[in-house]
Structure 1
């Protein structure tokens, strides 16, 4: 598992870890039952605090991406593909809402926005 931390990002480190692990699960790079590095090992590998990795793992567990067994470690949980699709659609909706608001602020028409979307989608 390869996680990159950006110290220049405004995103908290635990969130960077959480988001990258979620992305690996959703892309299929990490599969049900795969073992995650221990919190201590991940902290050591990334040169960060164990508290930070603990927070990332707790958030992932709350969201249903992983489960932990005391003394054994943390594992990738079974993923419901419909639930994943719904989460993705919700994320897309949130981002598009932000894009639309920004477009309106600068006076970009719906037609122009659709043209941008088409160009970017086809790249």
Structure 2
């Protein structure tokens, strides 16, 4: 698993770490029972605060993606593929609602919005 931190995006570092780990779980790169790097090791590897990585792992645990076993580390929890898909569908719906709302504020038509989605889907953004 390769985590890349960007300082130019407005997303907090702990959130970037969390989302990339979740992505690795969704894609199957990380599987049930896999051990994540220790909080200290990940902080050292990414050159970030231990508090930052701890926040990422705590959030992942609260969301049910990992389990922290005292003294042993943080392990990927079993995931329900259908539930993961539903969570991602909800995320997509929320993003589309936000896009539609923004489009309405500047009077972009539904056809123009659909055309934008079609063009973006044809590019490298969607496979």
Question: What is the count of residue pairs matched by the alignment?
Answer: 123
Give 1:8 deviation, angstroms: 2.3
Q: Deviations over 1:13-53 (max 9, x none)?
A: 11110011011111111111111000000011111111111
Distance 1:116 1:5 in 2: 29
Give every structure 1 segment of 4 or more consecutive aligned residues whose post-TM-superposition deviation is greater than 3 Å: none
**Aligned-residue RMSD, C-alpha:** 1.0
TM-score (norm 2): 0.92
Instruction: Name whichever of 4-13 and 89-98 sits farther off.
Output: 4-13
Structure 1: where are the runs of 5+ without partners? none
TM-score (norm 1): 0.95
Residue 10 of structure 1 corresponds to: 10
Distance 1:13 1:116 in 2: 30
Residue 42 of structure 1 corresponds to: 42
Distance 1:108 1:60 in 2: 37
Query: Against the structure 1 CA distance between its residues 4 and 103, is the aligned structure 2 distance closer, same or farther, given a 3 Å change threshold?
Result: same
Q: Determine whether 1:84 maps to 2:84.
A: yes
Structure 2: where are the runs of 5+ without partners? none
